[in-house]
Amino acid sequence: MRSGSDGQGKGLRIQLTLSSGKIPRERLKLSIMKTCVIGLGQIGLPVAQYAQARGLEVWGYDINPATVENARKAGKLKVTSSWEDVPQADAFIVCVTTGQMNESPDVSAVFEVCKQISEKANPATLVTVESTIVPGTSRKIFESIFHRKVNLVHVPHRYWADEPEKHGVNQLRVIGAMNAESLKAGLRFYRDALGIPLHVCSSIEVAEMCKIAENSHRYLQIAFAEELKMMCGKIGLDFDELRAAMNTKWNVDLPQAREGIGRHCLPKDIRYVTSLAPEEALLLEKAVEVDKKYRKWLTKQKKPQKETGSI
């Protein structure tokens, strides 16, 4: 895919080519005038930079002036902390952080920015939520905030800051849409304009569930490794040797057991899943207990090392 300016300042013409032959005329020229990324943190900034590199006119918005300044230093993006400065855009990408409140999902930030977007949106606008949310969130936003008058999709991010080259913005991702028109708009934007491969889900709820379920699956894998490491300590086996031996089997990929399951996403996302059906989340709840127990076990293991000065 190649991109080039139309020279009129009215948008960009994205030239679409396939090595296998010609593609339909309606997809040869895709006019993208403006894209606005909301939330310029660990996820939003790479998204904005990637979209700009693809030849799109990109604006970035964040309520935190320090985050905006960091984004400004990172490149030639048009960034602001004033919503009034953000122009009407063809596509709004929501990348704000979601969290927890009293151990329940807190996606209020997504609702708030969507209310702001509704002030500038029209029926042709594409709104895509990349933030992590729970099933039902997109539908509520679509109906209560946008009143079904925009194209809304959910394309959860899979960005991993530790390896942005391998697991950055452009990797296979899932997409769910509110309706056929929304899906068409989402595919044109992500697949055709941004060149991102997509797996289409039958409903937007499947896409919402996918992100938190896949992170919960990873949580389970790590918790199992932590449990095995504690067992190995109990019976006198070398966990690292056991792990290496296990991973010689074609369908086994046991992760390392390190300092506990930390950072932001995994501990939050497993709680998003357990909140959906607490009585059925038996295995997930046990995994959380295992991680807590493992952290205490690690602390006990380290105490003698500090006293003797050993490594």
pLDDT-derived band at 8 (thresholds 50, 70, 90) equals very low
Each residue's pLDDT tens digit, 197-254: 999 999 999 999 999 999 999 999 999 999 999 999 999 999 999 999 999 999 999 9
The Cα-based distances of 295 to 45, 188, 189, 261, 285 in angstroms read 33, 46, 44, 9, 16
pLDDT over threshold 70, residue 29: no
Q: Which burial class, exposed, middle or buried, applies to 291 when counting CB atoms under 10 A from its CB (0-12, 13-18, 19+)?
A: buried
Query: Domains plus CATH for the chain?
Result: 2-201 (3.40.50.720), 210-308 (1.10.1040.10)
Point out which residues pair with 153 in neighbouring strands. Answer: 128, 177
Model's pTM, two decimal places?
0.85
The bridge status of strand 58-61 relative to strand 35-38 is: parallel
How far, in Å, CA of 24 to CA of 139, rounded?
32
The bridge status of strand 12-15 relative to strand 29-32 is: antiparallel
Neighbour count for residue 253 (Cβ, 10 Å): 9
Close Cβ partners of 204 (under 8 Å, ≥ 6 residues apart) = 138, 139, 152, 153, 154, 176, 177, 178
Each residue's pLDDT tens digit, 290-306: 999 999 999 998 875 43
pLDDT over threshold 90, residue 93: yes
Which pLDDT does position 205 carry in this prediction?
Answer: 98
Each residue's pLDDT tens digit, 255-266: 999 999 988 899
Token pair for 187:
């595919």
